[in-house]
A and B are shown apart, each in its own frame.
Chain A
């Protein structure tokens, strides 16, 4: 199993530019999550999808952030325009079923390290 695959692994961009982060969840997983991690705020859940449908986007910081899941094997997180305070590690994760229950766990990708200068 290839696990959750994210790209790019590292990106440095200038303020105002558009950033697109990509994620391929584990095949067969029905849930996909986007998290952001910073030293100050820790791991924050931004949005999650169930069967390609966005269920809860209450963690998305503002309108500059958007996420899509056009099919079961691909999702994007877009920041437009980017700002220095968006610098963080963005993790994509997926799970087979509802998390928290027996045997159901969430699998994380290696993260996309974003620096906005």
Chain B
């Protein structure tokens, strides 16, 4: 399973755009990149998923360069309610098993 590296924490202010970059140098050809969001006292929640180039939904955008060795989650105009932990995950197959392994995630704090 491709290992991911992302910043442990980030700080931002309301109304700013936040970009969280994740490195996944050994991503496999069939791997997709998925981002989850976790609020305190809740389970992780799917945000966005992509394979290459750019994906956008009502919550965020995901930018994936041609080599796919990294990806950037972009949150436009964050608010206090975007304070959460954001996890970058790659693929789902590990040693023949189909599972998702979460890393430490990025703890985003949005300030007034």
Which A positions have Cβ atoms within 8 angstroms of B?
4, 31, 33, 35, 42-43, 45, 48, 50, 55-56, 91, 93, 98-111
Beta-carbon contact of B99 and A56 below 8 Å: yes
Nearest residue, chain A, Cβ from B103:
A42
Residues of chain B within 8 A (CB-CB) of A110 are 42-43
B interface residues, how many (CB within 8 angstroms): 27
Beta-carbon contact of B98 and A98 below 8 Å: yes
Beta-carbon contact of A107 and B46 below 8 Å: yes
Beta-carbon contact of B99 and A42 below 8 Å: no
Beta-carbon contact of A100 and B31 below 8 Å: yes
Beta-carbon contact of A100 and B91 below 8 Å: yes
Q: Give chain A nearest CB distance to B91 CB in angstroms.
A: 5
From B42, B43, B92, give the contact of A99 (CB < 8 A): B92
Beta-carbon contact of A108 and B43 below 8 Å: yes
Residues of chain A within 8 A (CB-CB) of B108 are none
Q: Give chain A nearest CB distance to B100 CB in angstroms.
A: 5
How far is B44's CA from A107's CA once the two chains are assembled, in angstroms?
A: 8
Beta-carbon contact of A108 and B44 below 8 Å: yes
Which residues of chain B from 74 to 112 have any CB-CB distance to chain A below 8 Å in the complex?
87, 89-93, 97-105
The 5 lowest CB-CB distance pairs between A and B, nearest first, are A100-B92, A108-B43, A99-B92, A43-B102, A105-B46
Q: Give chain A nearest CB distance to B103 CB in angstroms.
A: 7
